[in-house]
Amino acid sequence: MSKPSTSRKRKSDSDAPTDTSAKKARLMVDAILADASNYPIPADDADARDSFIVLAKYARSLEEMVSGSKPKELSPEELEAAAEKLRVAARSGIKKQMTWKPSCKTGGSKWTYDGVCNNPAVFGTMLRLGGPPTFKTKKLTADEFQNIMGVIQGHARYNTLYMRGNVNIQWKADEGTFKFSGTHGV
């Protein structure tokens, strides 16, 4: 005996093209582009109007697909909340890597944190830049980085591990990824 399905199908919007009309529109576009100068134009006004409507709906659906890929505008409160969530994740990821190694004695133990942030405004807010980043790479001292991100310390038995030297920040806007790297020691 099977369970009854609880999912519901979404009602189709009368303005949105159906799969068959989208396919018809793509075929029409292909046919027009294949032989633009010889493509037959319907003599009947109703047929011409229908062709324009199909193409217009197809163009609108493509516009909506493209506009859906852009990050939506966030309010200052939403930006700060998203930035704080990223800060917490980055601090946690860095702390987990701050473990004891023999090179901690000289302050040369390395850590690297890779993150994803598709919205440049959120990344800029996380680093308190006052807007989206205008750099691909940036270098901050450990103190400057901790003033922005919060205190980051690791613990190893009887020692406290601190960030040392500089923190390198890499931002890849086209991929929506970032990388923090630096060193830690006692």
Residue-wise DSSP of the chain: -PPPP---PPPPPSSSPPHHHHHHHHHHHHHHHHTGGGPPPPSSHHHHHHHHHHHHHHHHHHHHHHHHTSPPP--HHHHHHHHHHHHHHHHHHHHHH----GGGGGT-EEEEEEEE-S-HHHHHHHTT-SSS---SEEEEEHHHHHHHH---EEEETTEEEEEEEEEEEEEETTTTEEEEEEEEE-
| Sequence ranges of the domains in the chain | 19-68, 76-185
Output the pLDDT for position 133.
Answer: 86
pLDDT at residue 179, as a whole number: 92
Q: What is the pLDDT of residue 15?
A: 47
Q: What is the pLDDT of residue 152?
A: 86
Model pLDDT, residue 14? 47
Q: What average pLDDT values come out for the chain (186 residues) when binned by 10 residues?
A: 50 52 73 76 80 80 68 79 90 88 84 88 87 88 88 84 89 88 88
